[in-house]
Amino acid sequence: MAGEEQESKNKGFRLLGILDVQKTPCAREAILHGAGGSLAAGLLYFLTTSRVKRSFDIGFAGFMFTTLGSWFYCRMNNAKIRVQQRIIQDGIKNKVVYEGSGLDPTNKPGAETTSGPS
């Protein structure tokens, strides 16, 4: 009984049997944005034209475009953040390596002056 509960916790929600929404980055938000986009597009088209079948088609297209757009935007944002984090980590590593040596970019030669009476 405890094994079944743990198995159901680890399984997560699979969309169409292929996409694990819980483990795929940005998938949950993209699907929620797509649902909202499809509802808005289909409902607005229906209210303006009163054509049911075409409204469904517009809603489905709205779902696809909104989901894919949101997913690509989120993935690009995540990639940009990972690149920035990698640059920062390299900078911190270089700071630790070069600190106090002659290669330290913050230690400029000739910058130290004595503040005594001349």
pLDDT, one tens digit per residue, over 77-118 is 999 999 999 999 988 888 777 777 777 767 766 555 556 565
Ramachandran area for residue 70 (φ above 0: left; ψ -120 to 50: alpha; else beta):
alpha
Q: Which residue has the tokens 């990639």?
A: 79
Q: What phi and psi, each to the nearest 5 degrees, are found at residue 12?
A: 75, -175
Tokens standing for 81?
């953040």
Q: Could you tell me the residue range of the domain that residue 34 belongs to?
A: 25-96
Q: Judge whether 15 lies within some domain.
A: no
Instruction: Over range 6-19, report the average pLDDT.
Output: 58
Q: Half-sphere exposure (CA, 13 Å, Cβ side) for 27?
A: 13
What is the pLDDT, as a whole number, of residue 35?
Answer: 93
Are 73 and 79 within 8 A, CB to CB? no
Q: How many domains does the chain have?
A: 1
In the predicted model, is pLDDT for residue 12 greater than 70?
Answer: no
Q: Judge whether 113 lies within some domain.
A: no
Q: Judge whether 67 lies within some domain.
A: yes
Q: Judge whether 68 lies within some domain.
A: yes
In the predicted model, is pLDDT for residue 66 greater than 80?
Answer: yes
Q: Judge whether 81 lies within some domain.
A: yes
Percent share of the chain, pLDDT over 90 = 48
What is the pLDDT, as a whole number, of residue 77?
Answer: 95
Q: Judge whether 112 lies within some domain.
A: no
Q: Judge whether 109 lies within some domain.
A: no
Q: Judge whether 3 lies within some domain.
A: no
What is the pLDDT, as a whole number, of residue 100?
Answer: 72
| Rounded distance between C-alpha atoms, residue 6 and residue 12, angstroms | 11
In the predicted model, is pLDDT for residue 42 greater than 70?
Answer: yes
In the predicted model, is pLDDT for residue 37 greater than 60?
Answer: yes
